[in-house]
């Protein structure tokens, strides 16, 4: 499959979504935007639904790559966190700015690509948890450590939950089950809780006029509370 031709199909699909939206766009519209026949479009995608899904995947993948670079940068934790959140906000603002229709590509409830949107947010959460963990946020609760030390060994020990519906209920929303639930540790928020707060913050800014302008001061204020001096703007 020619990557260049597929790119042209997805670019044409995006142009059509700007004008018609997801529901009204057809393969004929995509073909017309490319000045090719319907059959030519079908050489690269299975149909309109496949084209739209591939387009959503491409957009979210690019944004995730930006977030990963930010999370892995040789920079203070606050800068890395802001970079991850900026990647999400930038995606939303770009799509919303081009057309109200293209903003449909952000709908986590959409049949065609909702799982892509949901997975993107879960991946950002994982990146943020890693940054906060590396920054030394939270830590073990001394009382819990003492309880663990005094816990009887062997078969008589109290079993820890390992699966089933109850364990699933404690997993983070959209998560992979590799990170525990958010909790306060010794009066501080743990990395998972901090990541959830950051995601909630950027979700709120997405719907606020001037959200991009407010991102930096809002994130700085949050991180100063979470990380102390490490959260101050560099």
pLDDT in tens, 36-76: 999 999 999 999 999 999 999 999 999 999 999 999 999 99
* Cα separations in angstroms, 72 against 66, 76, 79, 174: 10, 10, 11, 22
pLDDT digits (tens, 9 = 90+) for 68-119: 999 999 999 999 999 999 999 999 999 988 898 999 999 999 999 999 999 9
Q: Per the domain annotation, does 42 fall within a domain?
A: no
Q: How confident is the model at residue 163 (pLDDT cuts 50, 70, 90)?
A: very low
Q: How confident is the model at residue 134 (pLDDT cuts 50, 70, 90)?
A: very high
Domain enclosing residue 61, as ranges: 55-155+170-231
DSSP code, position 136: T
Q: Is the pTM of this model over 0.75?
A: yes
**Residue pair 85/219 in contact by the 8 Å Cβ criterion:** yes
> What percentage of the chain has pLDDT greater than the value 70?
75
Q: Per the domain annotation, does 14 fall within a domain?
A: no
Q: Per the domain annotation, does 31 fall within a domain?
A: no
* Cα separations in angstroms, 233 against 71, 83, 84, 130, 219: 16, 13, 15, 20, 9
Give the pLDDT mean for 153-165.
Answer: 41
Q: How would you label 69-97 residue by residue, b for 16+ Cβ within 10 Å and e otherwise?
A: ebbeeeebbbbbbbbbbbbbbebbbebee
CA-CA-CA-CA torsion for 205, 211, 213, 218, nearest 10 degrees? Answer: -20
Q: Per the domain annotation, does 50 fall within a domain?
A: no
Q: Per the domain annotation, does 104 fall within a domain?
A: yes
Residue 195: is it exposed, middle or buried by C-beta count within 10 angstroms (0-12/13-18/19+)?
buried
Q: Per the domain annotation, does 12 fall within a domain?
A: no
**Residue pair 112/102 in contact by the 8 Å Cβ criterion:** no
Q: Per the domain annotation, does 49 fall within a domain?
A: no
CATH of the domain at 133: 1.10.357
Q: Per the domain annotation, does 115 fall within a domain?
A: yes
Total of domains in the chain = 1
């Amino acid at each position: 499959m020619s990557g260049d031709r597929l790119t042209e199909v997805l670019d044409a699909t995006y142009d059509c979504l700007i004008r018609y939206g997801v529901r009204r766009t057809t393969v004929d519209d995509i073909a017309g935007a490319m000045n090719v026949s319907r059959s030519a479009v079908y050489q690269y995608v299975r149909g309109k639904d496949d084209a739209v899904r591939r387009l959503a995947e491409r957009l979210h993948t690019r944004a995730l790559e930006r977030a990963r670079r930010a999370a892995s940068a040789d920079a203070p934790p606050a800068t890395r966190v802001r970079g991850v959140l900026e990647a999400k906000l930038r995606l939303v603002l770009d799509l919303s700015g081009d057309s109200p229709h293209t903003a449909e590509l952000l709908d986590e409830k959409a049949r065609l690509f909702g799982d892509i949107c949901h997975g993107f947010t879960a991946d950002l959460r994982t990146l943020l948890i890693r940054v906060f963990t590396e920054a030394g946020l939270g830590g073990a609760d001394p009382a819990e450590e003492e309880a663990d030390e005094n816990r009887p060994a062997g078969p008589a020990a109290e079993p820890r939950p390992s699966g089933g519906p109850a364990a699933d209920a404690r997993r983070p929303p959209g998560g992979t089950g590799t990170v525990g639930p958010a909790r306060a540790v010794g009066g501080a928020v743990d990395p998972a809780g901090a990541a959830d707060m950051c995601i909630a913050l950027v979700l709120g800014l997405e719907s606020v006029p001037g959200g991009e302008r407010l991102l930096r001061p809002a994130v700085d204020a949050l991180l100063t509370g979470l990380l102390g001096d490490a959260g101050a703007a560099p």
